Structure 1
């Protein structure tokens, strides 16, 4: 299994960052060559399901996910309980779990941490190249979390 974490302080309240982060189709705005569609009537909460399609043409693959843990942040004040969400990945190419936390910080800001524990099929790729998969994941999700942060910050800054 490859494990990696990326984190970023975001100049937006925790509740705003949470709302942007759990807008699953919006992930396609941050992840290159990816579109996300929600499969359940309610996109939030335990049991919600969605699928990310990543790639182009015959090199594209589906990454179906189910929400298995869901707790929005308790508020925006420092000391309020952070929000956390965890999804289980059950695709043919990527298995494992992804989770994120949104922790309120002083000044109306928050810290978002994204953690991935994944196995790439065929499993020998992850077994033999786990550190390389984790490094690539950290780089890719680092760019993703930066794009997300810009989006969340725009949500609170008038243009």
Structure 2
């Protein structure tokens, strides 16, 4: 693709991406078991909840325990305050390669509630390691009520050299 074919209003990163993007990928839906297995293979995701009737997204680390997502937090955190009243949240994690346009994404929707059992809390604290210098003295369990996921894979119907412009 020559420079004249790339619109000038795109950012430099978007122009480079458009000029070098691999061919389109095929989206393959994951079953529940595979989606949860992949979710358990990574440590970082994003929790989505409402605060003051507006959506809030926070990156956070997690562990998977008996098909529930466990996240660590601290007293006073917005998600901890919201979870004490039992709210429905979404949790998303992925492993997507921007160079090859391959990978996967999983979203779980379910009820978020504080972990109150001291034994469970102590066990989760051994496995949850916060990325910030702040003690995580609470944990929240997110039930996996709705689990959706997909992988992006090369489309075998496209020739290896095909692009969106051909």
With the shorter chain as reference, the TM-score category is under 0.3
Q: Return the structure number with greater helix share.
A: 1
Relative to the length of structure 1, the TM-score reads 0.23
Larger of the two Rg values belongs to structure: 2
Q: Normalising by the residue count of structure 2, what TM-score does the alignment of the two structures yield? A: 0.23
